[in-house]
Structure 1
Amino acid sequence: MNLRDRLHRQPPPTPGGSRRPTLPADWPLAVRAGVEAVALGWGVVVLPTLVLYLVDSSRDAAAALTLGGVLRTGTGIWSLGFGGAMGSPDGDYGTLSLPLLGLTLLQAWLTRSSVRRARISGPAAGAIAVLAATLTALLIAVATHPADSRTWTAVIGVTVLNAAVTAGYLQRSGRGWPAPAAWQERRPRWLGAALRIARELALVLLGLAAVVALAGLIAGSGRVARLHDAVAGGSLAATVGLVALQLGWLPTWMVWALSWLAGPGFVVGAGSVFSPTRVLAGAVPALPLLGGLPTAAVGTWGGALPFVIAVAAGIVAWRHRVVLRELPLRQAAATAATVTALLGVGVLLVGLAASGQIGPGRMAEVGPRVGYVAVIVALMVLVGAGLVAVLPHPRTRALTRRGVEATAAATSAAVGSAREHLKTRTDRR
């Protein structure tokens, strides 16, 4: 029996023993999972930053004295993935708080991998793993906190992310809380259908956003290349660092692309707007990724682009048409309404997560026009999923047939009454 199996093996209860709560047997593995996940996520940012600095530095004594500054810079960049911010509004360069959603996704993957390798036994061990992750993030923030920056929010972000990923893993593996598992087995059929449709539609919207984002980068490839050459200056280390940084912002760029597809678009600086029907641009930072910003509206047909979301919702709902038709009409309508609410709230949250600041002055307002985008996406989803869920439903067809028959009967009766009335008037004459 190896160490992992010995730690997971619970000792047999002693008769008449005390029932005081004790640590789970695998608590060392849980601690390791929490520390490992956060340390790896931080190292993924800090170590390349340090390597790039050493490559570009002269490696003399004066350069060695600034290694602490490099670590603090790396911690500041790391905090951008979890709600942190670098710089101060009063500084020359303002505040950088545009979230690195790519780093957020990477941390979620690292957390899931660490928890899965540790084979955490249950909620108690999961809580220990989350606590270890929180303390590790707090230690990093305290030890390498960059001046005039906000890293304490990264501790909260890491805690929430690790708790969500750990709880999700425990529930899926059957080692979580019994109440949610029992509810999942007893949940109504229409709710299960709504969750499946919402999950598939979210993946479809992700694919549409990726297509729009890629199209923007291809259309602006010339500007992207020129900005990249101007910023990197031909240095290999600067090129690698610049590409890595922009990969972290690529999911953020995809959220902007979805906002553009929905119609309201996004802003890069106060007073600007980038949407299919209107482009009002201004000066932006020399970030190569921003070279893919649209330079003009797509034309009059740009107003029809949001209906692509409605079509996508209709196609996804049509794939589940058999289940929707077997449900009562009210439950089918409730399914469409639930899908609409889930997607609307989801778009609202990711829109907020893709908003921030990238400099002083007007650059303090950057990101999607969150409220408008969430409303438009919800409306399009309601149209697409609602029509498929309600119109082809057998109950709807029966009601329609009954209404048509009643209308035809009423029309025939009215025509007959009119004929009798005319006949009576003719006989009187």
Structure 2
Amino acid sequence: MTVLEMLRGVRPSADADDAGGAPSQAPSWLPLPVRDVLVGVATGVLSLLVVVVPTLLGWLLDPRPGGSLAEPLGAGSSLWLLVQGAHLGADATRVAFVPLALGALAVWLASRGAGRALETADADDEFFAELLPRSVTATAARWWLGYAVALGLASALTLVGSLPLRWLSLPVPVVVVPLVALVLAVRRLSREADVLGPRFDVLVPPETARRAGGAAARGLALLLGLATATVLGAVVVRWDAVSGLQAEVGAGFLGSLLLVAAQAAALPNLALWVVALLAGPGFSVVDGAHTSLAGSASGLMPLVPVLGAMPEPGPWPWFTRLLVVVPVLVGAYIGRRSLAAVARLSSLRTKASVAAFACVLVAAAVGLLDGIGGGSLGAYRLSDIGAHALGTSLAVGGELLLGALGVVAWDAWRLRR
């Protein structure tokens, strides 16, 4: 039984006694306010262990001479904060790279913990500022306090590690991650009880946005799926180079497994680089080593095995520029899905609006994910890596719109024949 499962048992009972009296309160070994804070602490600690335990295992199997147990504890804590958006480093060195798969896992774990805390909240309580029931608001605040305590513990542990925390970036894991987790938890709770106050009525999306949501989700999944397949295909084609770099690292068996897991966690980041490549702006692994549809420039790469899948430096054949049509075709797919979301005889304006809004949503999601992923692994030539979020978003948006509106125009022409 986990700590969260133990704390879950501390909840009020709504069962009435046999005489038909008022609902009785189940005996509790812990006051509910304290329980909510402890659930927040347990949520943060369990999430922290997901990163710290593998780090400790890797150190125990291959300890450094003269090192202490504090070093892997501090390094693991730094990496956990990095996953949630904090920056690491000192002076000119800045590490701001969030493996998106691990970041999503951290948010999911936090949302599950927040959901456990909200199980004891009274959804029928009066609303606070017409937003949420007072009980839900108070429970969420106490859980947030507990999660902040866990973040404070991890921040203190970074002081004994070799990856110092940039303290000005700490508000991201303290504010943004718990806020997103609570939004997800309240959204799940709202499916079972009416916990959203009148002020949320203005947040009802317009009809165009609701119809465009499904097409946008499918289009984003297709675009990232194609990019991910491209990354995996490049790894297979250049397996000798990738495996050679893996052997050069000399991390040992467990260390190699951890390295593979870390690279797998960064697979969505690499997929976004491929999206930038297909859209036109391209990406850079290090300063001076830019890769675009025109070719790839050389540069001293960091010793990361998956980067061995990069193509050889030099110009590419002219027909590789035709790959820019891939986002256009994805836009055409979004256009087809948008047409399926509206009535066949809807006006051209309605169809075009839904298709265009879906493309804007996909482009915004690409830019947001790339911005969250960050783009720095150190100093100097590693201080700006990856794709430019705004440039990629604009390029992807334009190409998606070209394909989607082309399909809508073709559909309108067919109807008028």
Tell me whether 1:80 sits opposite 2:94 in the alignment: no
Query: Paired residue for 1:250, among 255, 263, 267?
Result: 267
Query: Paired residue for 2:140, among 126, 129, 137?
Result: 126
The residue aligned with 1:22 is none
User: Does the 8 Å CA contact 1:85/1:150 hold for their aligned counterparts?
Assistant: yes
Q: Which stretch of the first structure deviates more once superposed, 252-261 or 325-334? A: 325-334
Tell me whether 1:7 sits opposite 2:11 in the alignment: yes
Q: Find the aligned partners of 1:264 and 1:3 in 2 and give their Cα distance.
A: 50
Q: Find the aligned partners of 2:370 and 2:154 in 1 and give their Cα distance.
A: 28
Q: Find the aligned partners of 2:353 and 2:32 in 1 and give their Cα distance.
A: 43
Residue 40 of structure 1 deviates from its aligned partner by: 1.8
Q: Deviations over 1:340-372 (max 9, x none)?
A: 322222221222223322233212121113332
User: Does the 8 Å CA contact 2:73/2:157 hold for their aligned counterparts?
Assistant: no
Q: Find the aligned partners of 2:366 and 2:70 in 1 and give their Cα distance.
A: 39
In structure 2, the CA distance between the partners of 1:320 and 1:333, relative to structure 1 (3 Å rule), is closer
* Structure 1 residue matching 2:386: 3-state secondary structure: strand
Tell me whether 1:219 sits opposite 2:237 in the alignment: yes
Match runs of 1:18-417 below 5 Å: 27-28=33-34, 30-57=36-63, 62-63=66-67, 66-90=68-92, 94-120=93-119, 121=121, 122-145=136-159, 146=161, 149-152=164-167, 153-174=169-190, 175=193, 176-179=195-198, 182-183=201-202, 187-232=205-250, 235-296=252-313, 298-324=316-342, 325-393=344-412, 397=415
- Aligned-residue Cα RMSD (Å) equals 3.1
Q: Deviations over 1:270-305 (max 9, x none)?
A: 122112222112001111121112225552222222
The residue aligned with 2:27 is none
User: Does the 8 Å CA contact 2:234/2:310 hold for their aligned counterparts?
Assistant: yes
User: Does the 8 Å CA contact 2:101/2:265 hold for their aligned counterparts?
Assistant: yes
Residue 89 of structure 1 deviates from its aligned partner by: 4.1
Residue 377 of structure 1 deviates from its aligned partner by: 0.6
Q: Deviations over 1:385-425 (max 9, x none)?
A: 2233344248x955xx7xxxxxxxxxxxxxxxxxxxxxxxx
User: Does the 8 Å CA contact 2:96/2:375 hold for their aligned counterparts?
Assistant: yes
* Structure 2 residue matching 1:358: 3-state secondary structure: strand
User: Does the 8 Å CA contact 1:97/1:357 hold for their aligned counterparts?
Assistant: yes
Runs of 4+ in 1 over 6 A off after TM superposition: none
Larger radius of gyration between Structure 1 and Structure 2: 1
Q: Find the aligned partners of 2:207 and 2:58 in 1 and give their Cα distance.
A: 54
Identity %: 25
5+ unaligned residues in a row in structure 1: which ranges? 13-24, 402-429
Which has the larger share of helix? 1
Q: Find the aligned partners of 1:195 and 1:27 in 2 and give their Cα distance.
A: 39
Q: Find the aligned partners of 2:412 and 2:141 in 1 and give their Cα distance.
A: 46
Q: Find the aligned partners of 1:390 and 1:8 in 2 and give their Cα distance.
A: 59
Q: What letter is aligned with 1:316?
A: I
Q: What letter is aligned with 2:336?
A: W
User: Does the 8 Å CA contact 1:133/1:159 hold for their aligned counterparts?
Assistant: no
* Structure 1 residue matching 2:97: 3-state secondary structure: coil
Q: Deviations over 1:10-56 (max 9, x none)?
A: 899xxxxxxxxxxxx96455434432332122111112211221222
Residue 326 of structure 1 deviates from its aligned partner by: 4.6
Aligned length: 376
| TM-score, structure 2 normalization | 0.80
